Structure 1
Amino acid sequence: KRNKYNRGKGRVIKKALHYVTGDYVVFLDADMDLHPIQIQTLFDIMRLDKADIVIGSKLHPNSIVNYPLQRRIMSFVYYLLVKIFFSLPCHDTQTGLKLFKTDVLRKVFHRVLVKKFAFDLEVLVNAHHMGYKIAEAPIVLKPQRRFGRIGWGATFNIIWDTLAVWYRMYILKYYDHIDYYRRKNLAKEFRRMRK
């Protein structure tokens, strides 16, 4: 069923997770730039590396990608930003092909706040912080449509959401004290309702 309003990828996936009954969850972008046949490679890597999460990576040395120079530069710059801020053991958090063990994803989702631009990043940052193993897989990316330009507004939102994840992780220590922050927000909401 399609959502009436666009509230972000994160919100849709959280909602869909309630209906999952299997042991694994695959994220695959619907634009078919990444053919579903590649999912088997992620399962193979998960088994061989004993990983909890496997993500497709445009920056993997064995990946075959065909997308514009501007997008390549933006991917690399974002990789550097993520590397500096989070020290994640992966090069590309934004490729639309990911494999998760369902129980791991459920535990991680309990902590995720971002609904839109840095949703994938927040999931991976939390998984890494919780000690789950993340592995990367090569992909074959064949765009099925012409790439649009990423506007300044979208770029700003991506950076803003990324900085928000960093702030929650390292300044607020939100992810380490999530129950405290949830109780605090609940108390604030309760006080507001009583007014």
Structure 2
Amino acid sequence: MNKTEISAVIPVYNDRKSLETAIPVSIETLSKISDSFELIIAEDGSTDKSRELVLEWEKKDSRVKLLHSDERLGRGNALNRAFSSAKGEIVCYYDVDLATDMKHLKELIDSIRNGADFATGSRLMPKSDIVRTRDREIASRGYNFLVRLFLRSSLHDHQCGFKAFNKEKLLSLLPSVSATHWFWDTEVLVRGQHSGYKISEFPVHWRTGEGTTVRFKDVFSMGTDILKLWWKLR
């Protein structure tokens, strides 16, 4: 049996409308990058028939795979579950709204092909091209400043939903990662740096998606999580 090179994961929670675009665009983009890939839709307790849409795609294309949960797992847990079941030697994920331009997917995958352990897109590097509200820009820059200050990270942007990993390296790190929701991205990148992993960060073209589910309470929670992780790493 041929090995699967890439497992691309899209975490989904009540995102049927975005999925209608994300699935065909993903297949088209991945087909240009590799002859061996799978597209895993990590559908996390949706009630808007997202699951039914993915099942329809499964029948049309065997590379599309549904990973359904009846209960809401949270972003981090959903990603952990998807990556643990993935067959690819390289695993990646991106947000269902395709906020990061998919033209960057090859660069993301090539970063791992070329020896990086983890790779991430960045909205906060000098050459990044982003459009979002002033309030979200201030909050993002403030959050990432605190991550760099308290958690000794050298990266610019920890929360961009556009990341790839050497699966073996990621799976060896996951037992130490306790975040179950939005802080998962930050904890993985910080723990990866503390473990000596090679992490590639590059600027991306990014636009605010219509269906973002980040709320003020999530931002506050992640701020608290920074302090918790700082204490653990001490």
Q: TM-score range by the shorter chain?
A: 0.7 to 0.9
Displacement of 1:117 = 2.8
Mean alpha-carbon deviation: is it higher for 122-131 or for 137-146? 137-146
Q: Distance in 1 between matches of 2:227 and 2:100?
A: 28
Q: Distance in 1 between matches of 2:156 and 2:87?
A: 30
Picking from 117, 135, 144, the partner of 1:52 is 117
Q: 1:1-195 residue pairs with structure 2 within 5 A?
A: 1-47=67-113, 50-145=115-210, 150-151=215-216, 153-170=217-234
Higher relative contact order (CA 8 A, sep 6+): 1
* Higher helix proportion: 1
Q: Distance in 2 between matches of 1:158 and 1:24?
A: 27
Distance 1:15 1:150, change over 3 A: closer
Q: Distance in 2 between matches of 1:67 and 1:163?
A: 27
**Secondary structure of the residue that 1:24 maps to in structure 2?**
strand
Give TM-score scaled by structure 2 length: 0.66
**Secondary structure of the residue that 2:125 maps to in structure 1?**
coil
**Secondary structure of the residue that 2:120 maps to in structure 1?**
strand
- Unaligned 5+ segments in structure 1 are 171-195
**Secondary structure of the residue that 1:76 maps to in structure 2?**
helix
- Unaligned 5+ segments in structure 2 are 1-66
Amino acid corresponding to residue 218 of structure 2 in structure 1: A
The total of aligned residue pairs comes to 168
Percent identical across equivalent pairs? 29
- The structure with the larger Rg is 1
Give TM-score scaled by structure 1 length: 0.79
Q: Distance in 2 between matches of 1:147 and 1:22?
A: 28
Asked whether the 8 Å contact 1:28–1:36 carries over to 2, the reply is no
What stretches of structure 1 move > 3 A for 4+ residues in a row? 44-48, 146-150
Distance 1:19 1:161, change over 3 A: same
Asked whether the 8 Å contact 1:66–1:143 carries over to 2, the reply is yes
Displacement of 1:73 = 0.5
